Structures are given as C-alpha cells and as structure tokens.
Amino acid sequence: DAEITQSPRHKITETGRQVTLACHQTWNHNNMFWYRQDLGHGLRLIHYSYGVQDTNKGEVSDGYSVSRSNTEDLPLTLESAASSQTSVYFCASSDGGRGNIQYFGAGTRLSVL
C-alpha cells in the first residue's frame, strides 16, 4: 500500500545544531507539504513543493529549508535549531486538482533544548 513515512518519530537536539527531518511518500504525488503544529496555533505551513526542483515558502518558513531532488522525498532542515522550533512536525502529500486530498505522515516530535 502507498504510504507517507516520517523519520525520526522523536528527536531531541540542542540549540544551534542543524537538524534534518525526513519525509518519504510512495503515493507518487507531485505535491508535498511540511507543517508544524503547536497548541493554540493549529497546523501552520512551513514549506511546500509542487514537483522536483520546486520549493516554496509557507507562512512560517524562517529558519527552515527544504529541497526536492526526487518525487518521493522532501526533507526539512532546521539550519540552526532554536527553542521556538520545539513542535510536532507533519509532512503531507497530495495529487493536486480539485480533490486535493492531503495525506499525512505520522509526525515527528522535535524538542530543542
């Protein structure tokens, strides 16, 4: 069955370190998204991609970057982790169009100490 997987599921890191969260989907979807979810804020879009070599900033992109070298993967990098980036991160993918159903990975819980 097609799926979307995130790794690691839990991560603890120190401020200032570079961290990369992985997202891999086997849906063959062109569209991929990264969100963070915090109490009181709901799901907020960090970055998104509509295809290979395409990346776009979302509403909370400062301090984050992504790259899309193939259809399946969209890794999220925190260049220099900050305590404000402690959150739960979700990756999602969709096939676009009117239906545009986004399917979510299980999430990564990141703690920056």
Partner 1 sequence: QKEVEQNSGPLSVPEGAIASLNCTYSDRVSQSFFWYRQYSGKSPELIMSIYSNGDKEDGRFTAQLNKASQYVSLLIRDSQPSDSATYLCAVKSQGGSEKLVFGKGTKLTVNP
List residues binding partner 1 (CB under 8 A).
31, 33, 40-43, 45, 48, 50, 58, 90, 94, 96, 98-107
Distance CA 26, CA 73 (A): 9
Q: How far apart are CB 88 and partner 1 at their closest, in Å? A: 9
Residue 85 or residue 108: which is nearer to partner 1 going by CB? 108
Distance CA 12, CA 17 (A): 11
Distance CA 3, CA 58 (A): 24
Residue 57, helix vs strand vs coil: strand
Residue 5 or residue 67: which is nearer to partner 1 going by CB? 5
Q: How far apart are CB 99 and partner 1 at their closest, in Å? A: 7
Instruction: Give the number of residues written for the chain.
Output: 113
Residue 14 or residue 38: which is nearer to partner 1 going by CB? 38
Q: How far apart are CB 43 and partner 1 at their closest, in Å? A: 4
> Of the candidates 108, 79, 102, which has an alpha carbon nearest to the alpha carbon of residue 25?
102
Q: How far apart are CB 30 and partner 1 at their closest, in Å? A: 9
Question: Bridge-partner residues for 35, per DSSP?
Answer: 45, 90
Residue 22 or residue 45: which is nearer to partner 1 going by CB? 45
